[in-house]
């Protein structure tokens, strides 16, 4: 069944800290989750209702998607839906889904259920039965109970035939708008069918809801590895894993030659399939001459976060005869934990020698290898 959709994204979202529709969730804007789901399910036309002046924000959030356009919202949800309907247009019998942008975890099964629910009804909405016992409150104390049998938690998207919804919205005369479109259709004499909702279709309302929503996103685990080596040269200290250690030599490199941070940066980039440190910070670029390598590591972490990923743990091994790493290992772990925003027990730094073999054994240079475990949205 072909259908059109209106996604309401014009609210200020003050309870969520403002502009929740543009906030990142799992590496993409909240709005994009719903529009992608509707288009993937076969929506032939999606109108996204946004606040005046927010067209460019919508364009950024939905970059690369086709089959959507914007309409300007109103001072109320009901007004925004009416504007969306006007922008959408007929035909009169076309199914139209109205969905809250703040409910990002929309899937095809729910869309198909509400569309099927229109058969023999004037509307259909997904809903969940109330599972918790309900209480009335007065002054902070329980003042009575509410029978929960027959009570349902309404969700979106709600489905209607285009003309039926337009007429129901026009017939609403109260000064305050309806709770939702199903309310308007019921008031106009229509019958709205309940279909099975989805517990994942939570509405992002408060700031803490975003943390909960992040835990609901399916993720895949990736592991990346990195390796780096630098030769010794004249100097009085060496940087390793973000810590400066007094030494009778230094490592030679275009930046500060922190082999531990370089290897770890490559490990994080590798886990994402995002190239290596040389791609992002070419050694031929003079702006990175003598640069602190924590900038490289922070850049990799920021790119991971931009994709909705998160770092799970890291493990760095330094390979050298000198300097002795153990006296500085705890400081290195603490520095890495701070740079990576990880708990200390998720950061490992170790050291080993090659028993006087190879270039590290001969004291010609120092090497580092690293592993990083990340989680990315599935």
Q: In what order do the strands lie in the sheet with 249-251?
A: 249-251, 219-234, 365-377, 310-319, 347-352
Euclidean distance between CA atoms 148 and 128, whole angstroms: 12
SS3 at position 66:
coil
Euclidean distance between CA atoms 326 and 330, whole angstroms: 8
Q: Which CATH class is domain 3-131+145-216?
A: alpha beta
**H or E element that contains 242:** none
Whole-number pLDDT of residue 166: 97
Whole-number pLDDT of residue 346: 98
Euclidean distance between CA atoms 282 and 288, whole angstroms: 8
Looking at residue 321, what DSSP letter applies?
Answer: S
- Whose CA is closest to 43, among 159, 128, 167? 159
pLDDT digits 0-9 by tens, 11-39 = 765 555 568 899 999 889 999 999 999 99
Euclidean distance between CA atoms 261 and 280, whole angstroms: 14
* Residues whose CB falls within 8 Å of the CB of residue 165, separated by 6 or more in sequence, listed in order: 85, 96, 98, 123, 181, 184, 185
**Contact (CB, 8 A) for 38 and 99:** yes
Euclidean distance between CA atoms 265 and 360, whole angstroms: 21
**Residue 61 tokens, joined:** 């959030």
**Contact (CB, 8 A) for 36 and 43:** no
- Alpha-carbon Rg of the chain, whole angstroms? 28
> Residue 87, Cβ neighbours under 10 Å: how many?
16
pLDDT digits 0-9 by tens, 289-329 = 888 999 999 999 999 998 989 999 999 999 999 999 999 99
Distances in Å between the alpha carbon of 331 and those of 241, 325, 336?
9, 10, 9
Whole-number pLDDT of residue 238: 97
- If 0-12 CB within 10 Å is exposed, 13-18 middle and 19+ buried, where does residue 173 land? exposed
SS3 at position 258:
coil
- Evaluate whether 3-131+145-216 and 219-377 have a shared fold: no
- Could you tell me the fold of the domain covering 219-377? 60s Ribosomal Protein L30; Chain: A; (3.30.1330)
Helix axes of 162-171 and 77-88: crossing angle, nearest 10 degrees: 140
SS3 at position 2:
coil
Euclidean distance between CA atoms 256 and 239, whole angstroms: 7
Euclidean distance between CA atoms 196 and 127, whole angstroms: 6
Give pLDDT < 50 ranges for the chain.
Answer: none
Whole-number pLDDT of residue 14: 54
Euclidean distance between CA atoms 341 and 321, whole angstroms: 30
Domain boundaries, the chain: 3-131+145-216, 219-377
Whole-number pLDDT of residue 18: 64
Whole-number pLDDT of residue 256: 94
Q: Which residues pair with 243 in a beta bridge?
A: 240
* Residues whose CB falls within 8 Å of the CB of residue 152, separated by 6 or more in sequence, listed in order: 127, 128, 129, 130, 194
Q: Which residues pair with 137 in a beta bridge?
A: 142
Alpha helix segments (H runs only) across the chain = 30-40, 55-61, 77-88, 108-117, 162-171, 181-187, 207-216, 259-272, 277-280, 294-306, 329-340, 358-361
Buried b (16+ CB within 10 A) or exposed e, 137-154: eeeeeeeeeeeeeeeeeb
- Number of helical H runs and strand E runs in the chain: 12, 19
> Residue 310, Cβ neighbours under 10 Å: how many?
16
**Residue 133 tokens, joined:** 């016992």
Euclidean distance between CA atoms 324 and 210, whole angstroms: 45
């Amino acid at each position: 069944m072909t259908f059109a959709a209106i996604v309401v994204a014009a609210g200020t979202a003050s309870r969520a800290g403002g502009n929740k529709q543009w906030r990142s969730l799992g590496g993409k804007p909240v709005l994009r989750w719903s529009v992608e789901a509707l288009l993937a399910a076969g929506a032939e036309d999606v109108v996204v209702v946004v606040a005046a002046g927010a067209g460019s924000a919508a364009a950024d959030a939905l970059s690369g998607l086709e089959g959507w356009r914007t309409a300007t919202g109103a001072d109320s949800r009901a007004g925004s839906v009416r504007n969306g309907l006007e922008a959408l247009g007929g035909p009169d019998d076309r199914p139209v889904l109205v969905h809250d942008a703040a409910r990002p975890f929309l899937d095809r099964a729910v869309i198909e259920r509400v569309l099927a629910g229109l058969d023999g009804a004037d509307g259909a909405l997904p809903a969940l039965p109330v599972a918790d016992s309900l209480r009335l409150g007065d002054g902070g104390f329980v003042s009575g109970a509410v029978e929960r049998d027959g009570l349902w938690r309404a969700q979106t998207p709600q489905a209607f035939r285009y003309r039926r919804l337009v007429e129901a919205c026009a017939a609403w005369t109260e000064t305050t708008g309806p709770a939702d479109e199903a309310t308007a259709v019921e008031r106009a004499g229509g019958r709205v069918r309940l279909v099975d909702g989805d517990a994942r279709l939570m509405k992002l309302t408060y700031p803490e809801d975003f943390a909960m929503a992040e835990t609901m996103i399916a993720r895949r685990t990736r592991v990346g590895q990195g390796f780096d080596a630098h030769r010794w040269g004249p100097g009085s200290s060496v940087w390793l894993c973000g810590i400066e250690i007094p030494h009778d030599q230094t490592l030679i490199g275009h930046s500060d030659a922190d082999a531990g941070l370089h290897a770890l940066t490559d490990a994080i980039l590798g886990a994402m399939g995002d190239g290596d440190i040389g791609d992002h910070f070419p050694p031929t670029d003079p702006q990175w001459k003598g640069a602190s390598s924590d900038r490289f590591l922070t850049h990799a972490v920021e790119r991971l976060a931009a994709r909705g990923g998160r770092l799970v743990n890291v493990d760095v091994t330094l390979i050298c005869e000198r300097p002795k790493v153990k006296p500085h290992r705890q400081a290195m772990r603490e520095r890495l934990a701070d740079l990576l925003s990880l708990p200390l027990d998720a950061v490992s730094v170790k050291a080993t020698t090659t028993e006087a073999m190879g270039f590290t054994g001969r004291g010609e240079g120092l090497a580092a290898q690293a592993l990083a475990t990340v989680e990315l949205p599935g």
